[in-house]
Amino acid sequence: MEYISIAPGMDFSRIIQGFWRLGQWNLSNKELRGFLEGCLERGVNTFDTAEIYGESESLLGKVLPELKRSDYKLVTKTGISIKKTPEGAFGYYDTRYRHMIEACKASIQRLKCEYIDLYLIHREDPLLDPEEAADAFKELKRQGLIREAGVSNFDPFKFQALNEYMDGELRTNQIEWNPCCFEHFESGMMDLLTAKKIHPMIWSPLSGGRLFTSNDEVYVKAREKFSEIAKEKGVLVETLVYAWIMYHPVGAMPLAGSSRLARLDNAIAALKVELEHAEWYELYVASGQKTLR
């Protein structure tokens, strides 16, 4: 396994295990413990969840106290709230000071850990007050409830605004990137992170599985080119996707989302794949969404 220093004294495994879908995995506590231990045996020391991922935090909290706290890094997120309305649930954002403090304490209770290694604001909030959110992060750090702070799904403008109030200490932006999604190449976020040497965490690197199953044209076209190059290299398509993501100079950390350790192995295998420079561009344009000018 490779490790990336996201802050002084904090090394994240290059491949991170995500737990968004944990509630659907139907694992017993014993099975979940086995899964977590399997991650650690493979050197995957970083686990990602969020307060909004259903039961994910609570399920992890049933097992994490059985592991040695210094063996793993925990990432969770705040900022999405749900209001129950007669029509159903209405999701909205809350990055106010009091909410961030209380939400963090509630996550720590559910996770049954003493602190969170990296605490993220989950989504861009149109009502974000960067000074107030930075004050909340700083207070959580002061109380020892979080070690580091970052964001997810931010555009460059909001990232810069908050980072200024954080004295340049936002540690990541967790963003979506896969063979069919290039939003953060278009926004300039990838350039900003590369220039600032801030490593993004990449969510849904396999398009949430749609890369393998969808009949939409973009997925079919991407699947064809990835399959062709994967075959030439004698690796699986998913392994090639991870290698393609990690080739970028930004030093991205992909989040594996599968319930199966065998698929985590396929992600880890990407660390040994050698990609030719020209191949990266062939894969970049494969879905038809990007062109080279």
Ligand X SMILES: NC(=O)c1ccc[n+]([C@@H]2O[C@H](COP(=O)([O-])OP(=O)(O)OC[C@H]3O[C@@H](n4cnc5c(N)ncnc54)[C@H](OP(=O)(O)O)[C@@H]3O)[C@@H](O)[C@H]2O)c1
Q: Which is nearer to ligand X, 120 or 293 (CB)?
A: 120
Q: Which is nearer to ligand X, 108 or 240 (CB)?
A: 240
Angle between helices 130-142 and 156-165 (to 10 degrees): 50
Interactions with ligand X, residue window 54-113 (CB under 6 A)? none
Q: Which is nearer to ligand X, 45 or 153 (CB)?
A: 153
Answer yes or no whether residue 46 interacts with ligand X by CB under 6 A.
no
Q: Which is nearer to ligand X, 258 or 289 (CB)?
A: 258
Answer yes or no whether residue 263 interacts with ligand X by CB under 6 A.
yes
When binding is defined by CB under 6 A, the residue of 78, 204, 239, 287 that contacts ligand X is 204
CB of 292 to ligand X, least distance (A): 25
When binding is defined by CB under 6 A, the residue of 203, 242, 244, 284 that contacts ligand X is 203
Angle between helices 237-247 and 277-284 (to 10 degrees): 110
Give me 114's structure tokens. Answer: 């003493």
CB of 114 to ligand X, least distance (A): 21
Interactions with ligand X, residue window 147-176 (CB under 6 A)? 152-153, 174
C-alpha 140, offset from chain centre: 21
Q: Which is nearer to ligand X, 13 or 153 (CB)?
A: 153
Answer yes or no whether residue 231 interacts with ligand X by CB under 6 A.
no
State how beta strands 116-121 and 88-93 pair: unpaired
CB atoms within 10 A of CB 38: 16
Helix (H) and strand (E) counts for the chain?
Answer: 12, 12
When binding is defined by CB under 6 A, the residue of 2, 259, 275, 285 that contacts ligand X is 259
Annotated catalytic residue within 53, 93, 119, 242: 53
The candidate with the shortest Cα–Cα distance to 239, out of 261, 214, 263, is: 263
CB of 223 to ligand X, least distance (A): 11
CB of 153 to ligand X, least distance (A): 5
Answer yes or no whether residue 206 interacts with ligand X by CB under 6 A.
yes
Residue 151 in contact with residue 184, Cβ under 8 Å? no
Answer yes or no whether residue 23 interacts with ligand X by CB under 6 A.
no
Give me 161's structure tokens. Answer: 């605004």
Q: Which is nearer to ligand X, 152 or 163 (CB)?
A: 152
CB of 273 to ligand X, least distance (A): 16
Residue 143 in contact with residue 124, Cβ under 8 Å? no
Dist CA 16 CA 9 (whole Å): 18
Answer yes or no whether residue 18 interacts with ligand X by CB under 6 A.
yes
State how beta strands 3-7 and 73-78 pair: unpaired
Residue 73 in contact with residue 46, Cβ under 8 Å? yes
Dihedral, 148, 45, 176, 181 alpha carbons, nearest 10: 150
* Residue type, position 67, single letter: L
**Catalytic site residue 53?**
yes
| Active-site residue list | 53
Residues at the interface with ligand X (CB under 6 A):
18-21, 48, 152-153, 174, 203-209, 212-213, 238, 255-260, 263
